[in-house]
Amino acid sequence: ALKASLEKDMGQIDFIVHSIAFAPKEGLSGRFYDISKEAFEVAMDISVYSLIEIVRELKPILSSNSSVLTLSYYGGVKYIPNYNLMGVAKAALEMTTKYLAEDLGKDGIRVNAISAGPIKTLAAAGIGDFSFMLKWNQYHSPLKENVTINQVGNSGMYLLSDLSSGVTGEVHYVDAGYNIMGMPAVEFDENGKPKIAWDGN
């Protein structure tokens, strides 16, 4: 139905933005090994397989030199508290991006992902201690700030446009540089003791 509707209204389309993810609340906290098979399957189906499905459904009307973009998060690369099952789903989503990029490259279709830093959205409300996460990212990122929806959108426009015509299979970080940090930079006082300017409050 979606393909038929789009084909009727537009003929061909130039891009797809995949921005859907879900995990049952039980899969976001608690012991990781307690995650049920049902919760795992739901998270993977909605957060990952949906990208494959939408690409397969709409590929016949994707124009040459078109672009597919999905949204990931650093929790798919490193452990993030209270992210649990979504971290596994995002890891799978990023690899799905790479495999789709190779598969669709011969058709002139590019596939990329944006890994954005934490942003206060409705979806973020389901993550425990999210306000702490925002402060942590701001304090420890090189730019000492959290990213905005507009900044993520600007990067999205780049990846969807011909400006990124030579880019595919990539995970593009928009997180004020947080992902490059191995450990936070710490200033020391005259006695050689670290100065901790942030207490997490």
78-134 pLDDT, tens digit per residue, is 999 889 999 999 999 999 999 999 999 999 999 999 999 998 776 666 666 778 889
Instruction: Give the pLDDT means over successive 10-residue stretches in the chain (201 positions).
Output: 91 96 92 97 98 98 96 96 95 99 98 94 68 88 95 98 98 97 78 62 50
Q: Please pick, among 33, 49, 74, 83, the residue that the annotation labels catalytic.
A: 83
pLDDT at position 94 is 99
For residue 73, indicate whether it is catalytic: yes
Residue 139 lies in a domain: yes
Residue 200 lies in a domain: no
Q: Give me the domain span that covers residue 109.
A: 2-177+187-195
pLDDT at position 107 is 97
pTM of the predicted structure, to 2 decimals: 0.88
pLDDT at position 187 is 72
For residue 173, indicate whether it is catalytic: no
Residue 88 lies in a domain: yes
pLDDT at position 199 is 52
pLDDT at position 191 is 78
Helices marked H in 45-198: 50-58, 84-105, 130-140, 149-160
Residue 147 lies in a domain: yes
Contact status, residue 28 vs residue 128, Cβ threshold 8 Å = yes
pLDDT at position 176 is 96
| DSSP one-letter code for 100 | H
Domain count across the chain: 1
- The CATH code of the domain that includes 63 is 3.40.50.720
Residue 109 lies in a domain: yes
Contact status, residue 112 vs residue 106, Cβ threshold 8 Å = no
Helices marked H in 106-178: 130-140, 149-160
Residue 182 lies in a domain: no
Residue 201 lies in a domain: no
Q: Please pick, among 33, 49, 73, 139, the residue that the annotation labels catalytic.
A: 73
